[in-house]
């Protein structure tokens, strides 16, 4: 009993945005319609399957989404540029559907890479970025605009990683694992910044940051103090952007795999509080046998960024101290200074991993 023509609440307009154009979730999740502000642009009256089958608008096609997002972004820049020049700035958040599944490069981009549809789709993302940059230039606001380009996780196996590797492209670079894993290949992502007159072109930073640091950074940029109940794990990296940082911006950083396994970074050390990948690469939880594997994985990512040597047995004190730090962060409900906060859900420090052999043995025999 879903009203696909109804007004949408608790969405972007209820979180501070003036206007919204997008889709309801990832492009592999129905309903497949565009949403403008609070209303679908057409009612989902048919069923389509771009990845998962579900309700869709009759004219909605997955292949059109990236070009449409690009057009909408370019148009918004044009609409807001005059006011921006007069002192009314704007914030544009442009999360792309590419190169996520479904992998659907536009016809004019198919075959461009000479490798695969996924590589073609990635090239089309480059084109989208170029269109945005060109719009800023054409409207005369490029020199007063901060641009951040980043990604949400490492490369997905849906990209057909062996095919990319055969063509000489290593999507995880030197890092182990990929999307969903606790390993660096699941979490090391591009983070590019252009800010004329503020960020020196061609510079690089070795600061440890996470995307959750964007909220504190933006607040810092605007001279706004976050309330104690917001951005509990966010640290401003504005000094790193401006080149005024004189030491580490944060002393630890927590990440998670898709099954909820934790890892904590502290300086050069990374402690994974799980025996395997916690994700989709071997050893996979519930798929591969973890018996005989060390309970924890400790890596010196300064000398071993590929996480090839587990040092937990050689440094038990380091493991104990970082585990205790993780326990303290969970207990406090935050990793930054401030009052303790309640966690939204109960948190398990160590995720139980079912033994696939025992699981299979427990399954009823087929007759």
- 150 and 184 in a common domain: yes
- Confidence at 367, pLDDT banded by 50, 70, 90: low
> In this structure, are 88 and 235 located in the same domain?
yes
Task: Looking at the structure, tell me whether residues 190 and 328 fall in a common domain.
Answer: no
* Side-chain-facing half-sphere of 12: CA atoms under 13 Å: 18
Q: What percent of the chain has pLDDT over 70?
A: 97
Query: In whole numbers, what is the pLDDT of the chain averaged over residues?
Result: 96
Domain identity same for 167 and 221: yes
DSSP state of 157: G
pLDDT per position as a tens digit, 3-42: 999 999 999 999 999 999 999 999 999 999 999 999 999 9
pLDDT score, position 51 = 87
Query: Longest Cα pair distance anywhere in the chain, in angstroms?
Result: 76
Closest CA to 106 of 66, 159, 149: 66
Residues 86 and 173 reside in one and the same domain: yes
Q: Are residues 21 and 38 in the same domain?
A: yes
Which pLDDT score is estimated for 365? Answer: 65
| DSSP category for residue 209 | -
Establish if 279 belongs to a structural domain. Answer: yes
218 and 72: one domain? yes
Domain count, the chain: 3
Over residues 98-122, the pLDDT tens digits come to: 999 999 999 999 999 999 999 999 9
Shared-domain flag, residues 303 and 318: yes
Do residue 74 and residue 222 come from a single domain? yes
- Last residue of one domain, picked from the residues 183, 208, 242: 242
CATH of the domain at 282: 3.30.1120.10
In the sheet that holds 39-40, the strands lie side by side as 21-23, 34-36, 39-40
Is residue 237 one of the residues assigned to a domain? yes
Same domain, 47 and 70: no
Q: What is the pLDDT of residues 233-268, one digit of tens each?
A: 999 999 999 999 999 999 999 999 999 999 999 999
**Nearest alpha-carbon partner for 249 in 217, 206, 214, 207:** 207
- Is residue 48 classed as helix, strand or coil in its secondary structure? strand
The answer on 198 and 110 residing in a single domain is yes
Using the predicted structure, report yes or no on whether residue 360 has a pLDDT greater than 80: no
327-353 residue pLDDT tens: 999 999 999 999 999 999 999 999 988
Q: What is the pLDDT of residues 218-242, one digit of tens each?
A: 999 999 999 999 999 999 999 999 9
Sequence-distant (≥ 6) Cβ neighbours of residue 105 within 8 angstroms:
63, 98, 112, 117, 120, 121, 123, 124
How confident is residue 151, by pLDDT bands cut at 50, 70 and 90?
very high
Which residue, 242, 276, 299, sits at the end of a domain? 242
CATH label of the domain that carries residue 114? 3.40.720.10
Q: Is there a single domain that holds both residue 337 and residue 264?
A: yes
What is the Cα–Cα distance from 355 to 293, expressed in whole angstroms? Answer: 12
Note the pLDDT of residue 354. 80
Three-state DSSP at 184 gives helix
Task: Specify if 364 maps to a domain.
Answer: no
DSSP reduced 3-state for 358: helix
Report the percent of the chain where pLDDT is more than 90.
Answer: 94
User: Do residues 351 and 285 touch, judged by C-beta distance below 8 A?
Assistant: yes
Q: Residue 24 sits in which domain range?
A: 1-60
CB 275 within 8 Å of CB 294: yes
Q: How would you class 288 by CB atoms within 10 Å of its CB: exposed for 0-12, middle for 13-18, buried for 19 or more?
A: middle
Q: Structure pTM?
A: 0.93
Query: Of 177, 210, 242, at which residue does a domain stop?
Result: 242
């Amino acid at each position: 009993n879903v009203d696909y023509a109804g007004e949408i609440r608790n969405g972007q307009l209820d979180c501070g945005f003036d206007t919204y154009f997008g889709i309801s979730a990832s492009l592999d999740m129905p309903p497949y319609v565009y949403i403008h502000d609070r209303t679908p642009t057409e009612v989902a009256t048919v069923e389509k399957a771009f990845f998962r089958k579900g309700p869709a608008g009759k004219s909605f096609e997955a292949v059109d989404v990236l070009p449409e997002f690009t057009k909408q972004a370019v148009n918004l820049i044009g609409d807001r540029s005059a006011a921006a020049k007069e002192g009314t700035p704007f914030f544009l958040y442009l999360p792309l559907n590419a190169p996520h599944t479904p992998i659907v490069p536009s016809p004019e981009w198919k075959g461009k890479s000479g490798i695969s549809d996924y590589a073609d789709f990635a090239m089309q993302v480059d084109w989208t970025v170029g269109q945005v940059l060109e719009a800023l230039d054409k409207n005369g606001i490029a020199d007063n605009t901060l641009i951040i380009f980043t990604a949400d996780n490492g490369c997905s196996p849906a990209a057909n990683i062996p095919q990319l590797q055969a063509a000489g492209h290593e999507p995880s670079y030197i890092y182990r694992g990929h999307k969903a894993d606790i390993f660096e290949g699941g979490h090391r992502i591009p983070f590019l910044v252009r800010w004329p007159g503020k960020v020196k072109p061609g510079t690089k930073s070795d600061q440890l940051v996470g995307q959750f640091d964007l909220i504190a950074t933006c607040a810092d940029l605007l001279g706004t103090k976050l309330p104690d109940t917001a951005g509990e794990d966010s640290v401003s990296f504005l000094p790193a952007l401006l080149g005024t940082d004189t030491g580490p911006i944060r002393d630890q950083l927590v990440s998670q795999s898709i099954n909820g396994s934790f890892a904590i970074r502290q300086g050069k050390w990374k402690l994974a509080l799980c025996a395997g990948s916690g994700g989709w690469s071997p050893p996979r939880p519930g798929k591969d046998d973890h018996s005989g594997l060390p309970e924890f994985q400790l890596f010196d990512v300064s000398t071993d960024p590929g996480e090839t040597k587990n040092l937990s047995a050689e440094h038990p004190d380091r493991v104990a101290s970082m585990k205790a730090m993780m326990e303290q962060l969970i207990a406090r409900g935050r990793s930054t200074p401030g009052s303790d906060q309640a966690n939204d859900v109960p948190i398990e420090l160590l995720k139980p991993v079912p033994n696939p052999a025992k699981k299979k043995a427990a399954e009823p025999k087929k007759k």
